[in-house]
Amino acid sequence: MTRACPVCRGRMTEMRVRHVQAWREQVVVFENVPAEVCDQCGETLFSGPVVDKLNGLLWSMPPAPRTMEAPVYDLSAA
Q: What is the pTM of this model?
A: 0.83
CA dist 45 to 9, 21, 28, 33, Å? 13, 14, 18, 10
- Name the nearest CA neighbour of 10 among 42, 52, 55: 42
| Alpha carbon distance 33, 58 (integer Å) | 14
Read off the pLDDT of residues 25-74 as tens digits, 9 standing for 90 and up.
889 999 999 999 999 999 999 999 999 999 999 999 999 999 998 888 88
> Sheet holding 44-45: strands in order across?
12-23, 26-38, 44-45
Please say if the pLDDT value at position 78 is more than 80. Answer: no
Output the pLDDT for position 14.
97
Reply yes or no on whether the pLDDT at 10 is more than 70. Answer: yes
